[in-house]
Amino acid sequence: MPNFSKMFTKRSDGYYRTTYTDSTGKIKYLYDKDPKALYEKLQNAKKPQPITFGDAAVAWEREYREHCNVRTWMNYKPHYESILDKFADTDISCITGVDIIQDLQRAKAMGYSRTVVNTRRTIYNNVLNFSVAQGWIPYNICNGIPLPKGLPSSTRSAPTDEQIQIILRNYDKPFGLFPMLLLCTGLRKGEALALTRDDIKDGEISVTKSLTLLDGQQPKVKEPKSKAGIRSVPILSILKGPLDEHMSKLDGNILFPAQAYNGHPGGGYMSESNYDTAWANYVKSVGLDGLTAHQLRHGTATLLYEAGVDVHTARKILGHSNVNVTMGIYTELREAKEKQSVKKLNTYLTKKVQKRVQTPKSD
């Protein structure tokens, strides 16, 4: 019979202790005063155990949070915790597409917008993709699950044609190149604020980092929120001249440095308050009150769609981690265009009928 007492560490309180690594990579501890009983516990613990959705989600979060933008996680967190409450103890291989569809339908019934419900679907998709990569499930049942129909649109919308013209005409205003660059490249606010001279080369903008802004804290430069965020974006000819002119006037390396204020000499990366001030002054000076940086990114997606750029190229330019995100935007734009076309047809035919009724018949 094996000497069980020599297999384990005996503590001062008389308990034997051992460790093992569970299926999610966590180190677990086992204790017992009887070394033989502890051995049996260890053998049982090493037996394959079903992976719960909670185990998978926590393991995904541990890896994802290292590269996630703080603001992005703030948006994810309430939905992540809600999903965990629902499926934490469910064997991940038992989660079905119907479960996810019903959960998204409940979110719709609660009045959530298309953007918010899509965030919830993204969490399911990411956790299940992670689980496939770990070998816990054979495939991701979330792939191909559509968003519920009839979801209200979020309040963010693309800029109008008139607003786009104002942005393109006023690039020489203080901070005016920033909105123009966002519109012409589709960069996120943080990605644009992190740009330096070194990122502008050979007719392209190299996107390798993002600036995280939180009120009252120093700005932090981090990697983009996903690997797809690391990309090269072509500089359109309409942007090249204003961009070259802007860089010729820079003193330092940062493309959009902090402005001088209240005795502060300026320079360095923008803080949250410094950005808010610069943006507010710009939109007020050109008559674009209420416009947001994110609207310009949505504007780029709209321009890509209207120009006939294929969805995969658009995904690369916009830095979406999943082509489904880009396809969702394209689908929304196509549906809006179809509705507009039907409305035009209806108006046209109505006028035709009215004109025919009003025209007297000839004998």
Gap between the Cα atoms of 36 and 4, Å rounded: 6
Q: Under 8 Å CB-to-CB from 87, ≥6 apart: which residues?
A: 52, 53, 54, 95, 99
| Bridge partner list, 91 | 52
Delimit the domains of the chain by residue range: 4-42, 53-134, 161-318
Which residue stretches of 170-321 are H helix? 177-185, 189-193, 237-248, 272-286, 293-306, 311-318
In angstroms, rounded to a whole number, what is the distance separating the alpha carbons of residues 92 and 95? 5
Give the separation between CA 104 and CA 108, rounded to whole angstroms. Answer: 6
What's residue 264's pLDDT? 67
Q: Which pLDDT value is given to residue 214? A: 65
Q: What CA–CA distance (Å, rounded) separates 324 from 31?
A: 48
Per-residue model confidence (pLDDT) at position 49: 65
Residues 6+ apart with CB under 8 A from 71: 212, 214
Residue 48: pLDDT over 70: no
* Arithmetic mean of pLDDT, 298-325: 86
Specify which residues 32 forms β-bridges with: 16
**The two domains 53-134 and 161-318 share their CATH topology (first three levels equal):** no
Instruction: Assign a CATH topology to domain 53-134.
Output: DNA polymerase; domain 1 (1.10.150)
Question: Measured on CA atoms in the order 291, 292, 293, 298, is the torsion positive or negative?
Answer: negative
Q: Which CATH class is domain 161-318?
A: mainly alpha
* Closest by Cα among 282, 250, 256 to 270: 256
- The better pLDDT of the pair 362, 68 is held by 68
Q: What is the pLDDT of residue 284?
A: 95
DSSP state of 361: P
H-helix or E-strand containing 353?
helix 323-358
Q: Match 């090493």 to its residue by tokens.
A: 46
Among 201-210, 228-237, 281-290, 317-326, name the one with the lowest average pLDDT. Answer: 317-326
Tokens found for residue 70: 């703080």
Q: What is the pLDDT of residues 126-172, one digit of tens each?
A: 999 999 999 899 999 999 899 998 887 654 578 888 999 999 999 99
DSSP-assigned beta bridge partners for residue 261: 264
Average pLDDT, the chain: 86
Using alpha carbons only, how large is the chain's radius of gyration in Å?
28
User: Residue 47 — pLDDT band, cuts 50, 70, 90?
Assistant: low
Q: How confident is the model at residue 348 (pLDDT cuts 50, 70, 90)?
A: confident
**Closest by Cα among 216, 214, 182, 219 to 317:** 182
Average of pLDDT values for 264-276?
83
Confidence of residue 40 (pLDDT cuts 50, 70, 90): confident
